[in-house]
Amino acid sequence: MTGSLELGPVAWPPTAITTERLVLRAPEPRDRPALIELLSTPEVHTYLGGPHSRDDLERTVPETPHQRPGLFVAERDGALIGTVELKRTKGEYRSPIGQDGDAEIGYLFLPRAWGHGYAAEACAAALDWLATALPDEPVVLCTQTANTRSMRLARKLGFTEAERYEAWGAEQWMGIRTGR
């Protein structure tokens, strides 16, 4: 299948991407329990408006979790430890300079996978994939400045500050990484 997902004409699902310690691939039915854990764990959503209810997720997440071009599962030793998503922004911006249609990266990792460099390894591989699929595409990243782990990761990935602004009752940071 060739997905458009507004990202552009990218081949999806991709051939699994193997990094030093991880595999990045499209979601599969076996990911469902870990995905529900990821979306319902409070620490994961501290700076993202709060977790989803586990009961709601058990009811609504399909047996085969949704596949969207640009949505990668990061797998370590055969199990999901997080997700990395590349998508085009649509309507959710509160940034004065952000535009609908910007390519944006987002990431969620289970707390037990924090502090090992896995998120950085997975995001770098996903950004490389995008740079091959859509050369010269700039990518933006939005995060709360209070989210220190996310801020460190953003800078490590090569995002530089475009602006800071107030939204959802907190200071937000938008970084940009030019296409390469």
Ligand X SMILES: CC(C)(COP(=O)(O)OP(=O)(O)OC[C@H]1O[C@@H](n2cnc3c(N)ncnc32)[C@H](O)[C@@H]1OP(=O)(O)O)[C@@H](O)C(=O)NCCC(=O)NCCS
Q: Which amino acid is at 161?
A: E
Q: According to the binding rule CB under 6 A, does residue 116 interact with ligand X?
A: yes
Q: Give how many residues touch ligand X by CB under 6 A.
A: 20
For ligand X, the closer CB: 156 or 164: 156
**Rounded to an integer, what distance in angstroms lies between the CA atom of residue 45 and that of residue 33?**
17
Q: According to the binding rule CB under 6 A, does residue 107 interact with ligand X?
A: yes
**Rounded to an integer, what distance in angstroms lies between the CA atom of residue 75 and that of residue 64?**
16
E-only strand ranges, 46-138: 71-76, 79-88, 103-109
Question: Interaction with ligand X in 5-44: which residues (CB under 6 A)?
Answer: 44
Question: Interaction with ligand X in 42-71: which residues (CB under 6 A)?
Answer: 44, 47-48
Integer distance in angstroms from the first to the last C-alpha of the chain? 26
- Min CB(9)–ligand X separation in Å: 26
User: Pseudo-torsion of CA 150, 100, 7, 117, nearest 10°?
Assistant: 0
Q: According to the binding rule CB under 6 A, does residue 143 interact with ligand X?
A: yes
Q: According to the binding rule CB under 6 A, does residue 165 interact with ligand X?
A: no
| Tokens read off for 177 | 């990484």
Nearest residue (beta carbon) to ligand X: 117
User: Pseudo-torsion of CA 128, 129, 132, 135, nearest 10°?
Assistant: -70
Q: According to the binding rule CB under 6 A, does residue 172 interact with ligand X?
A: no
Choose which of 51, 117, 134, 167 interacts with ligand X (CB under 6 A).
117
Interacting span for ligand X (CB under 6 A) from 27-35, 58-66, 111-119, 127-135: 111-119
**Rounded to an integer, what distance in angstroms lies between the CA atom of residue 155 and that of residue 15?**
28
Q: What residue ranges bind ligand X (CB under 6 A)?
A: 44, 47-48, 106-109, 114-120, 143, 147, 149-150, 153, 156
